[in-house]
């Protein structure tokens, strides 16, 4: 018997190499090569030829814009991240840590949808009995929802083509395998091939397909990067495993806006949408405490109030520590440098820890001002005044730059009873907002000056 040929494939870009190397020659990523079995290329042309119908060149003006009819998922927070619901032929990739609630959310959604349209739940991870047990917990044990426990792609495609459901959930893409490839399920080539085939079936039959994807320990979707390019929409489940709140964020959406956020609470009877989450990420302090500042962040179309906490403490190690949870680590180093240079506050002998409360992740630079105020408050060990909110980006030269949708953020803060807002001058509203005193600042020094006169002593 001839020896089985082995090659190495990059999990990031999918390029091949005959020997193992630390760095991929294709994309220069480190430690991404995994052992694979070369695929059978003889039938490739025939397979790919069927992927798309032939088309001729057309003038853009002569092409009819297709207005896609949408249908809901019966869960309003899920509809919101999808940009208003599912579209026939749409392929959605839902990623997230194990146990965060991907299967729960999709089972709940299909359970509600099956009353209105044909659906199919394909599970390669759990047995039918396990799914029934979960359904019992969710109070849907009498649901007529069709379930298929299968991992072979060809059988799944066959069932989909025969039953023509409007929505199919594949839980998960890493468990599927196609007979056209001889590598193991979950390997790069299997995942890529299965996703490509399913996409083709979704487009050809007008089926909305939701693929569940595993996440690696680095927090990105397992499998080749191309997976994210193949699908129309990429959603990520986020959240702290210790808190009951779960966020679903749109990273890419060909049918709607990105950065839209769906907020859920995990209960003992499944996920429940939180339609008004603005005050969710505030911790309840009776009295103001040092090192805490409330910021208004904007997630998609919704403003959200989040508490930023900082702890600045004398360091007893040669290199003082800078740690962030839910915020950007590199930005923290930058803000500390700006504070030193433009406000004369030195942190070099201090450990600095910054945390966004409630497991929320804030990537927008408008968090800068709140982080700075929280750090200064902790350094001086003096609480910020009660009812204060702040937002604004800080530049390297110490200027405070405007944040998008400033008005909406301020209105939300006023609605929740906040009384003072330190904000970028360019965001200052033309008309006064009832109950809210605005302190517009142009530079970081001005923000700290405003703080000094307002510190609770």
What residues line the site for ligand TYD (CB under 6 A)?
Answer: 96, 98-104, 134, 137-138, 266, 268-270
Q: Which does 96 bind (CB under 5 to 8 A by kind): ligand TYD, Mg ion, none?
A: ligand TYD
- Distance between CA atoms of 96 and 99, rounded to whole angstroms? 8
Q: Closest CB to ligand TYD among 134 and 405?
A: 134
Both tokens of 229, joined, read 């390019």
Selection from Mg ion, ligand TYD, none that 70 binds (CB < 5 to 8 A by kind) is none
Beta bridge partners of 206: none
CA distance 53 to 105: 35
User: 24 is written with which tokens?
Assistant: 């991929």
Among ligand TYD, Mg ion, none, what does residue 361 contact (CB within 5–8 Å per kind)?
none
Which partner, ligand TYD, Mg ion, none, binds residue 138 by CB below 5 to 8 Å per kind?
ligand TYD
What's the closest the beta carbon of residue 354 comes to Mg ion, in angstroms? 32
Distance in Å, CB of 145 to ligand TYD, minimum: 15
User: E strand or H helix at 414, and its extent?
Assistant: helix 406-415
Comparing CB distances to ligand TYD, the nearer of 222 and 306 is 222
Q: Which helix (H) or strand (E) segment is 118 a member of?
A: none
Beta strands 420-424; 388-390: pairing state: parallel
* Cα–Cα dist 192/287, whole Å: 54
Structure tokens, 73? 């998922």
Give whichever of 268 and 349 is closer to ligand TYD, judged by the CB atom.
Answer: 268
User: Closer CB to ligand TYD, residue 96 or residue 326?
Assistant: 96
User: Which residue, 270 or 424, is less far from ligand TYD as judged by CB?
Assistant: 270
Q: Which residue is nearest to Mg ion (CB)?
A: 103
Return the residue matching tokens 């405490």.
289
* Smallest gap from residue 139 Cβ to ligand TYD (A): 9
Site of interaction with Mg ion (CB under 5 A): 103
Q: How many Å apart are CA 294 and CA 418, to the nearest integer? A: 10
Residues 359/243, Cβ–Cβ less than 8 Å: yes
The sign of the dihedral angle between the CA atoms of 148, 149, 151, 154 is negative
Residue with tokens 């003006």: 61
Which of ligand TYD, Mg ion, none interacts with 383 (beta carbon under 5 to 8 A by kind)? none
CB of 244 to ligand TYD, least distance (A): 8
Phi, psi of 411 (to 5 degrees): -65, -40
CB of 243 to ligand TYD, least distance (A): 12
The listed partner (Mg ion, ligand TYD, none) that binds 134, CB under 5 to 8 Å by sort, is ligand TYD
Least distance from Mg ion to the Cβ atom of residue 195, Å: 17
Nearer to ligand TYD, 269 or 321 (CB): 269
CB of 169 to ligand TYD, least distance (A): 11
What's the min distance (Å) between Cβ of 102 and ligand TYD? 3
Residue 137 interacting partner from Mg ion, ligand TYD, none (CB closer than 5 to 8 Å by kind): ligand TYD
At a CB cut-off of 8 Å and minimum separation 6, what does 46 contact? none
**The two structure tokens encoding residue 313:** 């403490």
Q: Which does 104 bind (CB under 5 to 8 A by kind): ligand TYD, Mg ion, none?
A: ligand TYD
Which is closer to ligand TYD, CB of 200 or CB of 246? 246
Judged by beta carbon, residue 109 or residue 298, the one nearer ligand TYD is: 109
The string of DSSP letters for 322-374 reads: EEEESS-HHHHHHHHHHHHHHH----TTEEEEEEEGGG----SGGGHHHHHHH
């Amino acid at each position: 018997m001839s020896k089985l040929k082995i090659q190495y494939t990059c999990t990031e870009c999918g390029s091949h190499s005959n020997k193992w190397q630390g760095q991929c020659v294709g994309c220069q990523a480190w430690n991404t090569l995994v052992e694979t079995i070369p695929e059978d290329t003889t039938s490739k042309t025939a397979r790919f030829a069927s992927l798309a119908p032939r088309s001729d060149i057309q003038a853009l003006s002569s092409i009819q814009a297709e207005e896609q009819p949408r249908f809901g998922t019966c869960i309003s927070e899920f509809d919101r991240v999808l940009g208003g619901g599912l579209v026939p032929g749409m392929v959605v990739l839902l990623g997230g840590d194990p146990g965060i609630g991907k299967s729960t959310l999709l089972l709940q959604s299909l359970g509600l949808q099956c009353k209105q349209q044909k659906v199919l739940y394909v599970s390669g991870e759990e047995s039918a009995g396990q799914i029934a047990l979960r359904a019992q917990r969710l109070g849907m044990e009498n649901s007529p929802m069709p379930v298929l426990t299968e991992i072979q792609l060809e059988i799944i495609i066959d069932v989909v083509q025969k039953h023509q459901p409007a929505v199919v959930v594949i839980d998960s893409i890493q468990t599927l395998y196609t007979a056209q490839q001889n590598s193991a399920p979950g390997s790069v080539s299997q995942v890529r091939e299965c996703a490509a085939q399913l996409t083709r079936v979704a487009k050809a039959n007008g089926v909305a397909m939701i693929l569940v994807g595993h996440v690696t320990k680095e927090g990105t979707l397992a499998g080749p990067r191309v997976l994210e390019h193949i699908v129309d929409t990429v959603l990520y489940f986020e959240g702290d495993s210790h808190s009951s709140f779960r966020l679903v964020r749109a990273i890419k959406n060909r049918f709607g806006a990105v950065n839209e956020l769906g907020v859920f609470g995990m209960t003992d009877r499944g996920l429940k949408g939180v339609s008004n989450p603005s005050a969710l990420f505030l911790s309840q302090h009776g009295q103001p405490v040092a090192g805490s500042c409330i910021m208004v962040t904007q997630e998609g179309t919704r403003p959200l109030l989040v508490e930023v906490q900082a702890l600045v403490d004398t360091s007893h190690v040669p290199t003082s520590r800078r740690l962030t949870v839910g915020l950007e680590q590199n930005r923290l180093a930058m803000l500390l440098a700006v504070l030193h240079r433009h406000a004369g506050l030195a942190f070099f002998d201090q450990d600095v820890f910054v945390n966004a409360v409630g497991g929320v992740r804030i990537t927008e630079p408008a968090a800068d001002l709140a982080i700075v105020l929280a750090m200064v408050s902790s350094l001086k060990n003096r609480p910020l005044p009660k009812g204060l909110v702040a937002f604004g980006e800080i530049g390297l030269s110490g200027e405070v730059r405007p944040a998008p949708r400033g008005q909406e953020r301020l209105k939300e803060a006023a609605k929740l009873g906040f009384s003072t807002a330190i904000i970028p001058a360019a965001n200052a509203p033309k008309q006064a907002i009832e109950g809210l005193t605005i302190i517009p600042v142009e530079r970081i020094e001005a923000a700290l000056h405003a703080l000094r006169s307002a510190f609770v002593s």
